Amino acid sequence: MRDLFQYVPGNSLIHRLNPVTKIFLTVVICVAAFITDRIPYLLFLLCVDLGIGFAAGVPRKALGILKGLLRIAVFLFVLQALVVRRGTPVFWIFTDTGLVTASKVVLRLIVVCMPLAMVLAVTRISDLANALVQVLHLPYKYAFTLTTAIRFIPQFLEEMGGIMEAQTARGVEFDTKNAFRKLGLMLPLCAPLLISSVRRSEATAVAAEVRGFRLRTRASGYKQYPFAPADLAVLLFSVLLIAGAVLI
């Protein structure tokens, strides 16, 4: 869980894509998932997600993310299937419409979340920020805020894990199987953790300022982010994905 959002160094075709292209592809997959209303197409999109993970040389990561999402998905599936009361009953109190709708909701969730998490695994945070600034002309202030927030996720989880371990050692039942009980134990920890995060982000802002944060302009970046033929290929692929979602 902790290293779910961490960058995995590599030199695959996916790694070398322009960061803006990667974000674009992610957005396209999300849009396609919401346009289409067919389960086979959603399954196809899921394969695309996994294919990207394998092509980027991070299959373990892709499967790890999938596994994490599946846990939430099961819960959501049951909930959704129970809520939808239309259609004919097929099994106990579940109806056919309910099961179909629930499958779609769950598949969409997975298809949308996977590339979001994977972008971070195959893109350096600073490349993301620089490309947003250079190519999309986003003001650097916002790019910095965004990337700092992303950087804090694993740190936050790490601290949370540390506290939970320490509490478990003192006999607090964090290792309980009961999810609700676990959540109840974790919630009170959030406030102190958030406070320390805010404090740390203030310190980061100061550290950035004494390293010339305010002097940074669009021309500051040392690395350039030109679009390559591979980016064009991804663009074409994106058009096909959307077209498929609309037509199929």
Partner 1 sequence: MIRIESFSFTYEGEKAPALEDITLRVEEGGFAGIIGPAGAGKTTLARAVSGIIPHHYPGDYYGRILVGGLDPVDTSLTDLSRIVGMVFQDVESQIVSSVVEDELLYGLENFGVPHEEIPERLETALRQAGIENLRERSIASLSGGQRQKVAIASIIALRPRVLILDEPTGELDPVSSRQIFAMLKTLNEAYGITVIVIEQKIMLLSEFARQLIVLSRGKIAYQGPAREVLSHADELLQLGVNCPRVARLSMLLSERLGKPLPVCVNLDESEAQVRGCLHD
Interface residue list for partner 1 (CB under 8 A)? 3, 6-9, 124-127, 144, 147-148, 151, 154-155, 200, 202-204, 206-216, 220-223
Query: Phi first, then psi: what are they for 246, rounded to 5°?
Result: -75, -45
Q: How far is the CB of 230 from partner 1 (least distance, A)?
A: 21
Q: How far is the CB of 179 from partner 1 (least distance, A)?
A: 28
Q: How far is the CB of 223 from partner 1 (least distance, A)?
A: 8
Is 94 or 152 the residue whose CB approaches partner 1 more closely?
152
Gap between the Cα atoms of 153 and 122, Å rounded: 16
Is 12 or 103 the residue whose CB approaches partner 1 more closely?
12
Is 88 or 217 the residue whose CB approaches partner 1 more closely?
217
> Closest by alpha carbon to 26, among 49, 7, 9?
49
Q: How far is the CB of 16 from partner 1 (least distance, A)?
A: 14
Is 44 or 144 the residue whose CB approaches partner 1 more closely?
144
